Amino acid sequence: MTLAKATLKERTFILMAARTHTASLSERPDKREAILAAALELFAERGFHGTAVPLVAEKAGVGAGTIYRYFESKEALVNALYQQWKGVMLQSILLDFPHEAPIRGQFHAFWRRMFGFAQEHPQAFAFLQLHHHAPYLDARSIALEEASHQPARALFEETRKQQITKDVPPDILIAIVFGAFIGVARAAQEHRFALDEATLDQAEACVWEAIRR
Amino acid sequence: MTLAKATLKERTFILMAARTHTASLSERPDKREAILAAALELFAERGFHGTAVPLVAEKAGVGAGTIYRYFESKEALVNALYQQWKGVMLQSILLDFPHEAPIRGQFHAFWRRMFGFAQEHPQAFAFLQLHHHAPYLDARSIALEEASHQPARALFEETRKQQITKDVPPDILIAIVFGAFIGVARAAQEHRFALDEATLDQAEACVWEAIRR
DNA sequence: CGCGAGGGAATGAACTTTCATTCGGTTTCT
DNA sequence: AGAAACCGAATGAAAGTTCATTCCCTCGCG
């Protein structure tokens, strides 16, 4: 996979191409959305194998058979969901990202945008966590997952050269930063503390200390 | 489900079985262990709902019905597994913990012991991650999960008072440290980098910087 | 010392439920 | 009116669980 060098625009294109199942001319996007929304909620709570398709249909207010007019199978549905939300997450982090700002400002943007997504779409965040590296994810989902690491790696390779961050392999810094992000976001979702501005800033300051030289 | 009593008895039995040979002939701890080992492997790879009970039986070299002689249900099995391994993890971190060492040394011990467990029992580590906060976990499993946070909270409350760590709520530091730990351990399991001594020390130094004052 | 009865552990085919998917009838839109 | 979309009961496969039977070990009696 040479997604490494793919620009944001190209990745966006990939994302759009994911909508493969445009079978007929008069599709009902609202129904498709209803199915995806119901599936998101249920898959996030109970997992893929723990969620029955007829239950998704009921929650979507749709007949069970209708789901198969929009998705080839349950697997296709979960992959469509994964790709949709991974794409949304990527976009909400990368769209208009301040590449020219000072590094510390870029890190701030990164941090805030990640939490912005997790707070705005808590179910999608839980869903993406739960289905990370699941065996039923297809090649496109896995490629998207891989691609999502790329911007951070590029950033940390650059900051390492500039001796802004520690002289540590970027993959380790990424693991620490993303790990801390997920840890904080999850703890907040479990109501261990509130995710207000002050908390976000405190956590950001801590994690920046972890990586800065 | 009236598993409270049975589970307690069974758990006690596990503890004893570890070092006793006085079990009566009617008891077959080896079978129980075989079932637990097979279940660990399969649940860690495919998840709870993704694993069929007869498959566990086959991998354990045991008849399907035999599983139900040792566990009331599939749910009871997954909870027994969760409690067993959460307990092992807790013990391997806390047993003979150097409570009197300097704080930085305690943090080092913490860090190394967590990774020691993750490296020694990668499947158990994956299993615990995957089933964290699953809806089929019973009260005892949840209580164990909750209890596992306690030592870290106590430590960070103390270090905060002593102004060794940042003036930040302990729960936030815990989320960052555990999050970073899980992030690093997972990245290593995905072969993003090797977990040698140098890497462990680098990551530890980073995370210590995150929390120290 | 052998042998057969007794009893509990183990089994896996069978049972019941539940699942993903299909399909024919019905509704809706143009 | 025709065609496409929609529904949900029907379907067959696969799931978790059960239970009648088998197996194996122990013990008591000849």
According to the model, what pLDDT value does residue A28 have? 62
Tokens in use for B40? 């660990």
What value, to the nearest 5°, has the Cα angle with vertex A164 and ends A158 and A167?
Answer: 80
Strand C contact residues in chain B (163-202), C-beta within 7 Å: none
At A19, the pLDDT band (50, 70, 90 cuts) reads very low
According to the model, what pLDDT value does residue B13 have? 35
Mark yes or no for CB contact A175/B190 under 8 Å: no
Mark yes or no for CB contact A206/B180 under 8 Å: no
How many percent of chain B have pLDDT more than 90?
A: 86
d(CA A60, CA A67): 9
d(CA B56, CA B42): 7
Least confident residue range of A41-55, A164-178, B25-39, B141-155? B25-39
According to the model, what pLDDT value does residue B29 have? 67
B52 part of contact set with chain A, CB < 8 Å: no
Q: Is the distance from CB of A18 to CB of A88 less than 8 angstroms? A: no
* Residues A15-20, mean pLDDT to the nearest whole number: 38
The mean predicted confidence, pLDDT, of chain B is 89
Q: Return the CATH number of B3-22+75-211, one of 2.40.160.40, 3.40.47.10, 1.10.357.10, 1.20.1630.10.
A: 1.10.357.10
Q: Which residue of B has its CA nearest to A46?
A: B135
Residues in chain B with CB shorter than 8 Å from the CB of A48 are: 47, 49-50
Inter-chain contacts counted by CB atoms under 8 A, chains A and B? 127
d(CA A104, CA A155): 11
Q: How far is the CA of B79 from the C1' of D20 (A)?
A: 30
Alpha carbon of A23: minimum distance to chain B alpha carbons (Å): 31
* Residues A49-55, mean pLDDT to the nearest whole number: 98
Domain ranges of chain B: 3-22+75-211
How many percent of chain A have pLDDT more than 70?
A: 86
User: B153, B172, B178: best mutation site toward chain A, by most A Cβ within 10 Å?
Assistant: B172
Q: Which residue of B has its CA nearest to A185?
A: B175
Where on strand C do bases come within 7 A of a protein Cβ? Answer: 8-14, 18-24, 29-30
Least confident residue range of A180-184, B25-29, B121-125? B25-29
Which region holds residue A90: left if phi is over 0, alpha if psi is between -120 and 50, else beta?
Answer: alpha
* Residues A11-26, mean pLDDT to the nearest whole number: 40
Mark yes or no for CB contact A187/B203 under 8 Å: no
Tokens in use for A142? 């896995």
Mark yes or no for CB contact B187/A199 under 8 Å: no
Find the residue closest to C7 using CA and C1' atoms.
B26
pLDDT in tens, B25-72: 445 668 999 999 999 999 999 999 999 999 999 999 999 999 999 999
- Check residues A47 and A13 and name the one with the higher pLDDT: A47
Find which nucleotide's C1' atom is closest to A63's CA.
D7
Amino acid at A203: A
Residues in chain B with CB shorter than 8 Å from the CB of A173 are: 206
pLDDT at B20 over 60: no
* Contact, A68 CB vs strand C, < 7 Å: yes
Alpha carbon of A28: minimum distance to chain B alpha carbons (Å): 32
Bridge partners (DSSP) of residue A212 are A165
How many percent of chain B have pLDDT more than 70?
A: 86
Tokens in use for B152? 């870290």
Least confident residue range of A24-38, B96-110, B175-189? A24-38
- Check residues A3 and A131 and name the one with the higher pLDDT: A131
* Residues A24-30, mean pLDDT to the nearest whole number: 59
Bridge partners (DSSP) of residue A165 are A212
pLDDT at B8 over 50: no
Q: How far is the CA of B25 from the C1' of D27 (A)?
A: 14
pLDDT in tens, A57-105: 999 999 999 999 999 999 999 999 999 999 999 999 999 999 999 999 9
